[in-house]
Amino acid sequence: MPHEETSFIYMDHAATTAVHPKALEAMLPYFSEQFHNPSSSYLPAQKARQAVDAARKTVADVLGTRPPEIIFTSGGTESDNAAIKGIAMALRPQGNHIITSAAEHHAVLHTCHFMEKLGFEVTYLPVDSRGMVSVSDIEKAIKRETVLISIMLANNEVGTINPVAEIAAIAKAKAKSLKTHIAVHTDAVQCPGYLDINVDRLGVDALSLSSHKFNGPKGAGVLYLRRATPFEAQQTGGSHERNRRAGTENVPGIAGTAVALKLAAEERAANVEQTKALRDRLIAGVQQRIQGAHLNGHPTERLPNNINFSFDRTDSQWTLMALDEAGIGASTGSACRTASLEPSHVLVACGIPANLAIGTLRLTLGPENTVQEVDRVLDVLPGIIQRVRDTAPPVEAKP
């Protein structure tokens, strides 16, 4: 049971966020009195169509682009899938080479594995010990057959921010010299409310977002697709989303997404200032109070709300259970696999030993977190880590 003296402390915002009250308010009418299909021709349905159009313009304004370049999806996973498959398939007559990194989200990695089954060649670039992709490695990997580069803007586990604008500039320069088309996609799911996601400043041709990561609803997302970027629709049927994503639009989800994204953009400066201060307080406190705490990710080029530590001689499964009993919600950099822990592919890509990676804890903050909550975590975490070290049974670390 959670600690009786305090309310539950939520520090897992990289996993999901609560729907903002204003986003929920925007959604509610489209569940009831304005439930109509936006593709129908009668007046009430056209009001639903107007809501979708208004939301598309709002999202486009936040991203610094035009409404026709916005595709509404079911979330970040679909957006990643559609971008990689849709662009690569459309450019297949030119070439069959995709470049990505070994530390991408599984929505990208598993999609690239699928593309290999279709005959595409995929280069999985390494990352450094901090989880960052090398621009020079990107440049060296590009060849005449390269059609797509997919590199995440910020890592969901260790928080490291990649130099996507530099990567995009290199890709465009190489494409010009080769007289080919190389599209650049970025998974920016963790970034709204914390980083600049203006697509022109990033220089990308495609960008993925997931609404529930920035206080919008689950089951809704965005794919930005730059005008004239070759694209083959992966979900076919009707002519929805300008023939790029068939299926009746999720009007409530779209309305909520637009409001949440606009709020995230408007509140970004304040959110960054607040969460960065809390992040730095938490990192410093852990390093001062717990021996054998190893900070993962880049020390400065990281999301302002991300803390990721590996603790030696610990098992993160037991650490999370103890935190939950203390009323603290967090997550791990490792995926639980029955009685053993399989180290996170991101941590493995960073070169972190398996026996250290299985003791990883990720704490991701949100604007509602407080100094008091951070201090509460710092009060209980050292004791939890020590108890885990003293009592947890040995766990097999699979490489």
Residue type, 77: T
Please, what's the b/e burial string for 367-381 (b: 16 or more CB within 10 A of its CB; e: otherwise)?
bebeeebbebbbebb
Do 256 and 24 form a contact (C-beta atoms < 8 A)?
A: yes
Beta strand 293-295 with 306-311: parallel, antiparallel or unpaired?
Answer: antiparallel
- Give pairs for 137-142: CB < 8 Å, separation 24+: 138/99, 138/167, 138/170, 138/171, 139/170, 139/174, 141/99, 142/99, 142/170, 142/171, 142/174, 142/178, 142/182
* Burial environment of residue 323 by CB neighbours within 10 A (0 to 12, 13 to 18, 19 or more): buried
* Residues belonging to the active site: 336
Matching residue, tokens 């604008």: 165
> Length of the chain in residues, anyone?
399
The end-to-end CA distance of the chain, in Å, is 34
Backbone angles phi, psi at 331, to 5 degrees: -145, 180
For residue 170, give the nearest of 32, 327, 125, 178 by alpha carbon.
178
Instruction: State the residue for tokens 């593309």.
Output: 115
Quote the CA–CA distance of 257 and 48 in Å, as a whole number: 15
Distance CA 68, CA 59 (A): 11
- Where helices occur in the chain by DSSP H, the ranges are 21-27, 43-63, 76-90, 106-117, 135-141, 164-178, 199-202, 240-243, 251-266, 268-289, 316-325, 345-349, 354-357, 371-391
- Alpha-carbon gap, residue 361 to 341, rounded angstroms: 13
Q: Is there a contact between 204 and 282 (Cβ–Cβ < 8 Å)?
A: no
